[in-house]
Amino acid sequence: MTGIIHGDGAIRRDSLYGSSIENTYAGVLSFMRRNYTRDLSGVDVAVSGIPLDLATTFRSGARQGPQAVRAASVQLAELKPFPWGFDPFDDLAVIDYGDCWFDAHNPLTIKPAIVEHARTILASGAKMLTFGGDHFVTYPLLIAHAEKYGKPLSLLHFDAHCDTWADDNPDSLNHGTMFYKAVKDGLIDPATSAQVGIRTWNDDFMGLDMLFAPWVHENGVEATIARIKERIGDKPVYLTFDIDCLDPAFAPGTGTPVPGGLTSAQALAIIRGLGELNIVGADVVEVAPSFDQSEITAIAAAHIACDILCLLRNRKLAGKL
């Protein structure tokens, strides 16, 4: 198919590149109208969802997060993203791979199913941008990414919660213990990892660099970016963004909201300043649309994801993807 496509580019576009003209209120709701496909040939980034919320410790509902983020991305697909001023899909081949399938009625099969989902995508050479689901999904994603890129990875973690509470049961489903397990398993290196926006307490933060929310507020965006870069350098880093890193005023639609968080402006500015990082994978998790107001949480998540794609587009043009 040649020429400009008007409507449903997600299922009508032949090329992996370029954008279509869509009515924002209509059409197939892939993320930013990218091709809905399982064909990974020539793909730079595969977007997918993991609709899991069986690991939550408070409010469930994040299983509907992937679809909410896709729906919230329609405006982003209409214009060139701000402040970038370019269409990332002119240069970056991005698809929407759909959602990871798992049997929710057999919990012990869920982690292996997510690992295999990630292995399939990563084996093609594509990078992953994943939507949760609750934050447990990052643990099996880290297993697959560490296999692909080598142990240990660096971790850049945006959250209200450190998620390093002790848990030595290898089969537990808990969205507050994944990074305890990841450190214990050697998947991530605490000495080259950072957690941003944290405002809950743990007696043992396991050696990760803690950029608590009050520190970010007091020192500002530029100091935060500088500290992240100093900590991680050019090491392969997995970026995970729990939407409850944002203050509930900016992200009410989440399972465990905590006051005192980052603003949307702060979070987006920090993400946009991370172009020098060697991001090998990323996720945005814990959007729970049943608790949202006017989609503001899902819209924030979609913008964060779009900015990550713009970072990867620039890395590709610099020959560093």
Annotated binding residues for Mn(2+)? 135, 159, 161, 163, 242, 244
Say whether the peptide bond before residue 133 is cis (omega within 30 degrees of 0): yes
Q: Specify whether the CB–CB gap between 277 and 237 falls below 8 A.
A: yes
Q: Specify whether the CB–CB gap between 221 and 273 falls below 8 A.
A: yes
- Please state, in angstroms and rounded to a whole number, the distance separating the CA atoms of residues 291 and 293: 7
* Rg (the chain; Cα; Å): 18
Residue 16 per-residue DSSP state: S
**Widest distance between CA atoms in the chain:** 59
- Please state, in angstroms and rounded to a whole number, the distance separating the CA atoms of residues 164 and 167: 8
Grouping H, G, I as helix, E, B as strand and the rest as coil, residue 240 is strand
- Please state, in angstroms and rounded to a whole number, the distance separating the CA atoms of residues 20 and 5: 5
- Please state, in angstroms and rounded to a whole number, the distance separating the CA atoms of residues 308 and 272: 8
Tokens describing residue 49: 């969802």
Question: What DSSP assignment string belongs to 67-109?
Answer: HHHHHHTTTTTTSPPTTT-S-GGGT--EEEEEE----TTSGGG
Q: Specify whether the CB–CB gap between 255 and 53 falls below 8 A.
A: yes
Strand partners, 236: 278
Q: Which residues contact 220 (CB under 8 A, 6 or more apart)?
A: none
| 57 burial level (CB within 10 Å; 0-12, 13-18, 19+) | middle
Which residues make up each annotated binding site?
A: 135, 159, 161, 163, 242, 244
Q: Scanning the structure block, which residue is given the tokens 């991005």?
A: 94
